[in-house]
Structure 1
Amino acid sequence: MTATSESMGETRLDQGPQEVSDRLIASAARLSRNAMTEIDWDQPMDPDLYGCSPEWCTLYGTELWEEMPLEQRIELTRHESASVATNGIWFEMILQEMVIRDQYLGKYHTPEFQWSLIEIADEARHSLMFAKGSDKLVGTSYRPSKFVGLLGKGFMMFARGEVAYGGILVAEEVLDVLQRGCMSDPRVLPFVRTINEIHVLEESRHMKFAREEVRESMKNVGWIRRQISALIIAIAGFVIVSSLHSPDVYANTGLDRKRAMSAKKNNKHFHSMMRGSCVHLIEFLSSVGLLTRPAAFFYRRANLY
């Protein structure tokens, strides 16, 4: 397929939630995978393999990283991978409730409703996959702070339209970035690579649906609503990104929590990796009018822009 025909195909496919849903249902039937059968959960872990590519560790390239022995670096990447996964479970539960609420008393015969059920089922399987992966990696799980948990409940209860699906999209895009960068790295544990590969593959369908829902919601939206929606989505994105790597990972791997958090905050390498990988997300938000100046402030704070 030529570049021109690809472009034409993308234009032809993006015709609205119902048409996109039809194609996603067919894609899910062909390509869905099951980590419960693909992964040998009882296979011992190679002690020399990382939990994520070291370049994607929040401390990589810092003075603290250089001081750490190899075994501690490996352990840190495993805890960070578990933190991203189990905090991902937290947001996937928010996502599931919002999608169910959005389709409550909906048009059950439509492709959009049917796709929504597939997405909810996917997210439940992903959460189980992340939970088992975290247990195998480090034997524990990480959650956001109580305050962030309360914010998540508020977002789950009140977010609608472009705010709900925009928040979903930002969270899924960031998880995609962190996992895509590690899923083909032979230095990473094989079962972690498989988890990342499955999630990246299946979340690509979820992100396509979310983008289409945002486009649909933004049609004929006025200036005031656009400003408010853009800001709420950006704040939600900042909170989600800030919560993915729990400070507890540093204490649990024998590091000084305060020094490690300071190193993470000032790690230009990690910030650059995030910004470079989120270009398409920022471009999409801009294209639908959701990259306002106040919103951009929070994306910069989250090192996504």
Structure 2
Amino acid sequence: MIKRMISAGARALLVALLIAMPALVLPGVSPDTTQIVALLSLLGALLTFVEYVSDYPSLIEFRNAPPFNRMRFLALFATVILLTLIARGETHPTLLTAAITGLGAMIGQAMDFPFSPVRLMVLMLPEKTPAAELDILRTYAGMAYLISLMAIILFVACVRVLNWPIRKAAFNFWVNLPLFDPTAGGDVLTRLKRDSHINVALGFLLPFLIPAVLKAATAWIGPIGLTDPHTLIWTMSAWAFLPASLIMRGVALMRIADLIEEKRRRAYAQASELQAA
């Protein structure tokens, strides 16, 4: 119990640090923004602590199937901290921020080709946007999208090479998928494969759909203020992380479906051998 509380407390602290990171690093944060960030950090830490200190999860999937959630958190943490350092370098440049900004600019230029998600994010801005703002948005988008792609590749390698999630222990289906309702009807295997395909399809389409939705929203509510560094950091992080998270979930569900299918095949083979005997 004590070990679980310490582990849950560490995770809650990391979540709070993630939410508060831009406000802690960027200069000139207003008191109102500080209060909102502090409230969100406490709320995120409390939800994380309650979820991980309990015996069984209620919201977080694959809680007992590492490193799925750890890889997602590290991807989001890396995205937020790198974008925050890029934003800080605009007003307080250092060798570190200059190096990260230069790397992000090169990545953004490499990914800014026709019909790419980065190009769509750049085209989302109004036509009269200064070139400097376009370059900043391209840098943010390129860095965030690269991290999301790396997270997907690493997780797929973990599934294929390291035999996730059964390398060290058996996989408990009902504990790791608390939001999956087994009584909803239909075969569990069919539903898992269907949900997997839906998650992967959404994860692939969202980087293209989100810029289109934001572009359409500007026609109704006016230009979206991406000049604010906090708004830009969290918008770019969500744009890159949510699709990657969906794709990783889809890959995980397909892996679980494959394990169930393999177990069924072995059970049917054993039943056939017993009947033949």
Which has the higher relative contact order, 1 or 2, with Cα contacts under 8 A spaced 6 or more apart? 1
Q: Which TM-score applies when normalising by structure 1?
A: 0.31
